[in-house]
Amino acid sequence: MRLFFSKSLPNFERLLLVESGSRHLIENLLPGLRALYGDSLEVDLVTCFQGQPAGLTEGSRIFRVWDYPDGKSRRKLLEQLRARQYTVGGILCSGEPVMTKWKWWLLWKVPAKFFVMNENGDYYWFDYSNWRTMLHFLLFRAGLTGADAVTTVKQVLLFPFTVLFLVCYAARAHLRRKVRV
């Protein structure tokens, strides 16, 4: 979470991408990054998928999360990532439950300025100045924006009564059976 309290953007020299969504999202992002920042941009990838995405250059490092199953190996991964001195990090948040714990762990531990990108290619820099965008993103993922908001709030409010009704119904059914015996 380096530079969370700063609006300044570092130079795009070394980029760590966290592939926490479908492979095609990374493959669509890489050509645009190459067009903007040239071939001198070093891009490394943290992923849970096999293979190499199209558009990733030969010199790129790929870190696969299954190679780091325990705390000792994750500390080794963190040392490797810090040694590479990334200036920028990118996290794909596509609404798919892929590498959720990993992306937030990396955001917290890797000293780089991060951007968060959704499945539509929209992105924002993860810093305090974008708190409204982060809040909207969070509410959207929780189903609390638009027409779904009323339905979601209604379901949350009715949930305790639904559980209470089901518990009472089960108790009544079991009591009736005991009385008949």
Q: Which helix (H) or strand (E) holds 169?
A: helix 148-180
CATH of domain 14-141: 3.40.50
Instruction: Write down the pTM of the prediction.
Output: 0.74
pLDDT given for residue 118 in this prediction: 85
pLDDT given for residue 1 in this prediction: 61
State the Cα–Cα distance between residues 64 and 134, nearest whole angstrom: 27
pLDDT per 10-residue tile (average), the chain, 181 residues: 73 88 87 85 92 87 94 95 93 85 91 89 86 87 81 90 96 93 79
pLDDT given for residue 2 in this prediction: 65
Q: What angle do CA 128, 131, 132 make, to 5 degrees?
A: 155
Q: Quick one: tokens of 5?
A: 């309290």
Q: How far is CA 179 from CA 74, 165, 169, 172, 176, in A?
A: 59, 21, 15, 10, 5
Instruction: List the chain domain ranges.
Output: 14-141, 143-181
pLDDT given for residue 97 in this prediction: 80
pLDDT given for residue 11 in this prediction: 81
Classified as helix, coil or strand, 64 is strand
